[in-house]
């Protein structure tokens, strides 16, 4: 059985030609899928014989909501999605003045083992298929409200699941599907350098965000083991290539951790590291995770860090703290759910 939701429009056209049907059927089915239809019998503009044929050789996958929490503070919604194999992934829907944003996972768990992130506790279970990532967005679109922006910043490292992520982007951007604008999609990576070059060469125009979190190799390696393989010098070189190739700005994510990377010296070093780059820094007050113990930097430290960057010509913002009352940080709710399920 073939999952039609896991196909691009080109793949779907080939599928219909291979089963002796016209290419036009692909567009019809594609549009039905992105209206939320998973039953071929509801696709009323298809011949009865074709619907019967499809029922015998294909299906349209669909995730289920295992749990949903909504923040009393800011209406942020955290979803736990149940996959066909009983695994669980997280997604978050966030209201902004410019529209609703869907933050999705790309893997079940994560192998990057960043020391401040709950997603990596226990490692990666498996990659998500493009169809599963699509369903995260579709469910939030139907349940929470129209999704106009997508960020791949949930559990998992998108560039460790590169092919399925690229397929996801092409499907979700298709005007016959969800039609999410390419400039409204952002991929966040911890810094798999070869894939940054590949991504730059794709010519997609998707936004790139780099999880940096430290301006020196010693500290970044402590926080992010990936830095042993791809140190900061190589990472910045890849970012320069991306900027030169795409003429797009890179965003650097920097989680501010109390007494770890939040002091004046670090802000100066970060300013020097990024000087001259077409970039923006997103300062993130870190969420507390029980198993890790890192604490959010004090507010005065956050403001001082931001001021130093701006004085040195680096544009930056402080991310709003959203969903703190519903465990909205990556991996937190999934771990609590799984712990409860084991009992």
223 has a pLDDT exceeding 50 = yes
Q: How far apart are the C-alpha atoms of 203 and 173, rounded to whole Å?
A: 14
Work out the pLDDT band at 119, boundaries 50, 70, 90: confident
CATH number belonging to domain 2-59 = 1.10.150.530
219 membership: H or E segment, kind and range: helix 217-223
Nearest to 174 by CA among 13, 54, 335: 13
pLDDT (average), residues 38-54: 96
Q: Quick: pLDDT tens for 191-219.
A: 999 999 999 999 999 999 999 999 999 99
Mean pLDDT of the chain: 92
Active site residue 316: no
- Strand 2-3 with 107-108, pairing: unpaired
What's the pLDDT at 338? 65
Q: How many CB atoms lie within 10 A of CB 230?
A: 18
**Helices within 34-74 (DSSP H only):** 48-57
Least confidently predicted of 52-61, 79-88, 272-281, 323-332: 323-332
- Strand 207-211 with 185-189, pairing: parallel
325 has a pLDDT exceeding 80 = no
Q: How far apart are the C-alpha atoms of 109 and 276, rounded to whole Å?
A: 36
Q: Quick: pLDDT tens for 168-193.
A: 999 999 999 899 999 999 999 999 99
Helix (H, G, I), strand (E, B) or coil at 158: helix
- The domain made up of 64-342 has a fold known as TIM Barrel (3.20.20)
Active site residue 330: yes
342 has a pLDDT exceeding 50 = no
Q: Is 295 left (phi over 0), alpha (psi -120 to 50) or beta?
A: beta
Q: Quick: pLDDT tens for 251-296.
A: 999 999 999 999 999 999 999 999 999 999 999 988 766 666 788 9
Q: How far apart are the C-alpha atoms of 267 and 308, rounded to whole Å?
A: 6
What's the pLDDT at 341? 57
Q: Which of 110, 190, 279, 330 is catalytic?
A: 330
What's the pLDDT at 343? 46
Calculate the alpha carbon distances from 262 to 193, 255, 265, 298, 301 in Å. 26, 9, 8, 9, 7
What is the location of CATH 3.20.20.70 in the chain?
64-342
Q: Which residues contact 211 (CB under 8 A, 6 or more apart)?
A: 114, 188, 189, 190, 191, 224, 253
Residue entry with tokens 């860090």: 305
Q: Which of 90, 136, 157, 164 is catalytic?
A: 90
What is the location of CATH 1.10.150.530 in the chain?
2-59
pLDDT (average), residues 229-253: 97
Q: Quick: pLDDT tens for 131-175.
A: 999 999 999 999 999 999 999 999 999 999 999 999 999 999 999
pLDDT (average), residues 229-256: 97
What's the pLDDT at 332? 64
Least confidently predicted of 117-126, 222-231, 250-259: 117-126
């Amino acid at each position: 059985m073939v999952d039609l939701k896991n196909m691009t429009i080109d793949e779907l056209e080939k599928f219909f030609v291979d089963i002796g049907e016209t290419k036009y059927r692909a567009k019809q089915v594609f549009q039905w899928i992105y209206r939320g239809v998973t039953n071929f019998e509801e696709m009323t503009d298809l011949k009865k014989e074709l619907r019967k044929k499809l029922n015998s050789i294909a299906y349209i996958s669909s995730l289920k909501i295992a749990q949903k929490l909504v923040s009393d503070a800011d209406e942020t919604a955290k979803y736990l999605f149940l996959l066909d194999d009983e695994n669980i992934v997280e997604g978050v829907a966030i209201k902004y003045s410019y529209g609703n944003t869907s933050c999705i996972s790309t893997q079940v768990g994560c192998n990057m083992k960043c020391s401040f992130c709950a997603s990596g506790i226990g490692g990666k279970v498996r990659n998500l298929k493009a169809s599963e990532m699509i369903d995260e967005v579709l469910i939030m679109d139907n349940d929470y409200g129209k999704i106009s922006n997508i960020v791949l910043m949930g559990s998992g490292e998108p560039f460790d699941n590169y092919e399925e992520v690229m397929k996801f982007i092409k499907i979700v951007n298709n005007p016959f599907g969800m039609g999410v604008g390419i400039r409204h999609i952002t991929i966040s990576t911890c810094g798999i350098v070869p894939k940054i070059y590949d991504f730059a060469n794709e010519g997609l125009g998707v936004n790139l965000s780099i999880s940096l979190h430290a301006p020196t190799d010693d500290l970044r390696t402590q926080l992010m083991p990936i830095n042993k393989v791809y140190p900061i010098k190589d990472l910045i070189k890849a970012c320069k290539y991306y900027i030169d190739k795409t003429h797009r700005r890179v965003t650097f994510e920097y989680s501010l951790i109390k007494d770890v990377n939040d002091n004046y010296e670090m802000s100066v070093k970060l300013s020097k590291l990024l000087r001259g780059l077409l970039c923006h820094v997103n300062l993130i007050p870190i969420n507390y995770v029980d198993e890790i113990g890192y604490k959010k930097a004090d507010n005065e430290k956050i403001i001082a860090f931001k001021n130093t960057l701006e004085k040195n010509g680096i544009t930056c913002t402080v991310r709003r703290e959203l969903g703190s009352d519903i465990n909205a940080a990556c991996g937190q709710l999934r771990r609590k759910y799984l712990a409860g399920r084991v009992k």
